[in-house]
């Protein structure tokens, strides 16, 4: 079975329900959280997740549209990048 991994970053003003709303979208697309880190600095919310989909033919466009809609509703910025692209872009 193949898998596709993504790095998802979330940044915005902290409010109730950010994690719940985003993880609901992940569940709808059967995306699993492999690792997660969250920090709140005063009123700034930041989260980075390593996620994985084992679904063959995963519809990345539909997922990104749904996660972007969630970000718009919450007033936060959400970025989704394939794991290998994220690692390549952030190598030293």
Q: What CATH number is attached to the domain comprising 70?
A: 3.30.70.260
Give me the sign of the Cα torsion angle 83, 87, 78, 8. positive
Q: What is the domain extent for residue 63?
A: 4-89
Show the beta-strand stretches assigned E in the chain: 4-13, 32-41, 44-53, 76-82
CA dihedral 72, 77, 80, 86 (to 10 degrees): 170
What is the pLDDT, as a whole number, of residue 1? 43
Number of domains in the chain: 1
Q: Tens digit of pLDDT for each residue in 66-92?
A: 999 999 999 999 999 886 555 555 565
Q: Tens digit of pLDDT for each residue in 23-47?
A: 999 999 999 999 999 999 999 999 9
CB 1 within 8 A of CB 54: yes
What is the pLDDT, as a whole number, of residue 67? 97
What is the pLDDT, as a whole number, of residue 11? 97
pLDDT > 90? residue 22: yes
Full-model pTM: 0.84
């Amino acid at each position: 079975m193949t898998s596709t991994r993504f790095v998802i970053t979330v940044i915005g003003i902290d409010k109730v329900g950010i994690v719940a709303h985003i993880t609901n979208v992940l569940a709808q697309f059967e995306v699993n959280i492999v690792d997660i880190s969250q920090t709140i600095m005063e009123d700034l919310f930041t989260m980075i997740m390593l996620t994985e989909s084992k679904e063959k033919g995963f519809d990345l466009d539909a997922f990104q549209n749904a996660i972007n809609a969630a970000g718009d509703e919450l007033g936060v910025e959400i970025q989704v990048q394939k794991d290998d692209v994220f690692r390549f872009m952030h190598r030293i």
